[in-house]
Chain A
Amino acid sequence: MVPGPGLRLAAATGRRYFALMKWAISEQDAREIRSFDPQRRRFLGGLAGAAWLAGTGGVVSGCSSANVLRVPLAAAETRVLRMLAPAILHGLLPAQPAARKDSLDELLAAVSTSVSSLSSASREQLARLLAALDYRITRWLLTGLWKPLHEATVAEIDAFLHNWRQSSVGRFNLAYRTLTRLLATNWFALPANYRQSGYPGPPSWPAGKSAMREA
């Protein structure tokens, strides 16, 4: 029987979600999830669904992110990172809208440069994680948020980041480390933000430098 277009679409969509879940759930994590003790540590309801997905063994490869990999950061990826930034950098972004936008633009440009230095394998892993946060079902499974990230409050994003940090499932800790490090490292390394850490910046050296070189 030839499947109709609706079924084909559903199958294709399903494959895509399964592929995304491949990022989120490995064999080892599946074991951890099975031994997960809800009494000991509460976690988002989505986790049960994630475990079910992993348990079906329906994880297939073929998440084609080839288009994404050709650019430093795809538009959808930038959008996700822009939504996460106010929670990860809470209290550090300027309050005034125009300044805030400039600040975020500068951060995303720096992140984009970092991302362009990644090997294709690392780049693909990051692409999978960001795509998983962009697609509704995988986002819900990973974060408990059904609504788009841009409709989520800083508190809601902060809450799932906390859950990721405190999770006993390694992949959530890794996702937490990956995203917080990407944004925080680039943020604090920007000269415009030195004062937030009290870092006076590198010594001003050009004059002395040339003097030394000539000596």
Chain B
Amino acid sequence: MIAAHHHVVDGTRLQTDQRLEADVLIVGTGAGGGVAAELLAKSGLRVIMLETGPLQLGRDFNMQEQRAYNRLYAEGANLATADHGIAILRGRAVGGGTTVNWTTSLRTPDQTLGYWVNRFGLAEVSAEKLAPWFDWAERRFNIKPWGIAPNANNDVLRSGCARLGLQWAVIPRNVSGCANLGYCGMGCPLDAKQSMLVTTIPGALEYGASLYVRTRAWKLEIRRDRVEALIAQALDAKSINPTGVTLRIRATHYLLAGGAIHSPALLMRSHAPDPYRVLGKRSFLHPTSTSLARMPTAVDGYYGAPQSIYSDHYQWPDGAEGPAGFKLEVPPIHPGLAAGIFGWHGRKLAAGMQDLPRLNILLALQRDGFDEQSPGGEVQLQGDGRGILDYPLNDHLWDGVRRAWHAMAEIQFAAGACAVMPGHLGGEFDTSLAGIRAQIDRLPLAPYQAALFSAHLMGGCGMGANPRASVIAASGRHHQLENLTVVDGSVFPTSVGANPQLSIFAHSARITTGLVRELKSGALPDMP
């Protein structure tokens, strides 16, 4: 637990400009930064962590949607891609996404790693070489397949797949003493979720690291091939606007873990060398479509572990490339979130919502970045200098969305649904599979009409052997900057094809351990 004797500074309260020094400066406290901070501090290095969001602890988490979205998510959970075509849930508080995610902890699929090895020359990340790092992360964060029966919402996916003979499996979760409440997305009120907030960040602080919250990394001062300093802005109480107080931090090494929008954006604002124009490109987000079902009995999808079952039946239809594959999961069904997914108004909204206890929702997370037709999006800088993700929607993606609606509807009816509806402005509940299939084929596939979401931001600082086609090397080191390393989800050269947190844990541990051994030979003997 973060305790009173730990060195935590709230940027909002700073009155004067600061000059700080550290061995390693870490930007971001999510899955990547959190893992790195503890390892670095444990090895005896002086560590400073910067976090844009606020520090919110378990006792602050009261299971109220509005409070959680406003305090713990970027833009109060109203973030979206540049043209608003895809809504983005992105954590923004100490612990980053790990504070608010739904605890799904899946390893990077072997097919994805095989693709990275072959396509990006990344022999260092083969399934065999990464296995000890996954083992380490699973021990550190108590990751185990969920041992309690799935809630009825997840059971729709399980039983539907089972009846149709489709693959399904139990999801491993990073929890300890979980009471199966179902409020992981609003911050765990029991500190049962093994997020960075209750594991590595207190760990790093205990080893003497410092944490600056409501402090935004704004610009790197770069001279030739080295970073000389980082300029950060202290932020107001909402973690939005700068107060005017700045921090200038000098470090031997700089570690970026601000996530797949902010790590590329920080490098862009700083005019970091990018001789081959690859920075910020190939950004991915598992574009996610939805299918809603009215079940015959109560589902109560607001209670119980939010995600405990997944299906990869449609994930690798033709190997890694070709038509988009998708992973099937479910979201928790709280009223605010559900009202947003309905995308309706008036009587129709009221009628849809009054059946909330019987509502099941399936999600199809599309695996983007594996085919020429799936180049992903691009991080750009807005007028105010902040990063935004431009993600064009193309026919390859829409084809995946349509197939996913068909697959989800079939599973929901197989599980006994009374009526099913695709997540689309023109969607209508239909009581027959034939009817819903006709509707799905008829619905126009256009931005804003089809509801698309993402909770997984990846890429933009892609890893690769070839500096002409990637931003960082397999070691995590920037190809052109010798004292800058990236450890967050932005390093992935494609989307992961699974919820990314465990992949980020493993890569951050692997990259950071290599860095520590370089900066302090002989340290971290118990790491793989």
Contacts and interface: CB of A to CB of B under 8 A. Distances in A.
Interface of A: 87-92, 110, 113-114, 116-122, 158, 161, 165-166, 168, 170, 173-174, 176-178, 180-181, 184-191, 193-194, 196-199, 202-203, 205, 208-209, 212-213
A173 B70 contact: no
Contacts of A110: 66
15 contacts: A89-B346, A90-B349, A110-B66, A113-B66, A114-B78, A117-B238, A121-B383, A122-B79, A122-B80, A158-B345, A174-B448, A177-B343, A185-B336, A189-B66, A212-B190
Contact of B302 (A91, A177, A184, A199): A199
A209 to B, nearest CB: 6
B189 interface: yes
B386 A209 contact: no
Nearest to A90: B346
B65 interface: yes
A121 B388 contact: yes
Contact of A196 (B183, B354, B384): B354
A186 B66 contact: yes
Contacts of B78: 114, 117-118, 122
Given A116-B238, A190-B66, A199 B357 contact: yes
B335 interface: yes
Contact of A121 (B179, B349, B354, B386): B386
Interface in B333-360: 334-340, 342-347, 349-350, 353-357
Given A122-B75, A161-B346, 10 more contacts: A88-B346, A113-B70, A117-B240, A173-B446, A188-B335, A196-B354, A197-B354, A199-B357, A202-B63, A213-B58
Given A196-B354, A209-B190, A161 B181 contact: no
A89 B63 CA distance: 24
B339 A119 contact: no
Interface residues of B, number: 58
Interface in B51-74: 58, 62-66, 69-70
A184 B350 CA distance: 10
Interface of B: 58, 62-66, 69-70, 75-76, 78-80, 84, 177, 179, 181, 183, 189-191, 238, 240-241, 302-303, 334-340, 342-347, 349-350, 353-357, 382-384, 386, 388, 425-426, 444, 446-449
B356 to A, nearest CB: 4
A199 B335 contact: yes
Contacts, number: 162
B349 A88 contact: yes
A133 to B, nearest CB: 15
A166 to B, nearest CB: 7
Contact of A180 (B70, B345, B388, B446): B345
Nearest to A92: B350
Nearest to B446: A170
Given A117-B238, A118-B75, A197-B356, A88 B345 contact: yes
Given A173-B425, A177-B425, A181-B343, A189 B336 contact: yes
From A118, A158, A174, A188, residue with most partner B Cβ within 10 Å: A188
Contacts of A191: 64
Given A114-B78, A196-B353, A184 B181 contact: no
Contacts of B190: 209, 212-213
B382 A121 contact: yes
Given A198-B355, A202-B64, A186 B336 contact: yes
Given A114-B76, A181-B343, A176 B383 contact: no
B339 A198 contact: no
A50 B349 CA distance: 29
B436 to A, nearest CB: 19
A181 B337 CA distance: 9
Nearest to A158: B346
Which 3 pairs from chain A and chain B are nearest by CB? Answer: A117-B76, A189-B336, A202-B63
A121 B191 CA distance: 35
A118 B179 CA distance: 33
B75 A117 contact: yes
Contacts of A181: 339-340, 343
A196 B354 CA distance: 6
From A117, A122, A205, residue with most partner B Cβ within 10 Å: A117
A36 to B, nearest CB: 13
A166 B425 CA distance: 8
B218 to A, nearest CB: 15
Nearest to A166: B426
B75 A119 contact: yes
Nearest to B449: A173
A196 B344 CA distance: 16
Contact of B76 (A118, A173, A180, A212): A118
Contacts of B63: 202-203, 205
A171 to B, nearest CB: 8
Contact of A91 (B70, B339, B340, B350): B350
A180 B343 contact: yes
A191 B302 CA distance: 14
A186 to B, nearest CB: 7
Nearest to A215: B177
Contacts of B75: 117-119, 122
A117 B383 CA distance: 19
A92 B484 CA distance: 54
From B64, B84, B448, residue with most partner A Cβ within 10 Å: B448
A176 B449 CA distance: 10
A165 B444 CA distance: 13
A185 B339 contact: yes
B335 A87 contact: no
Contacts of B189: 205, 209
A205 to B, nearest CB: 6
A178 B448 CA distance: 10
A118 B384 CA distance: 14
Nearest to A161: B345
A177 B84 CA distance: 10
Contact of B183 (A88, A90, A186, A202): A202
From A186, A199, A208, residue with most partner B Cβ within 10 Å: A199
Contacts of A184: 339-340, 342, 344-345, 349
A188 B183 CA distance: 16
Nearest to A187: B339
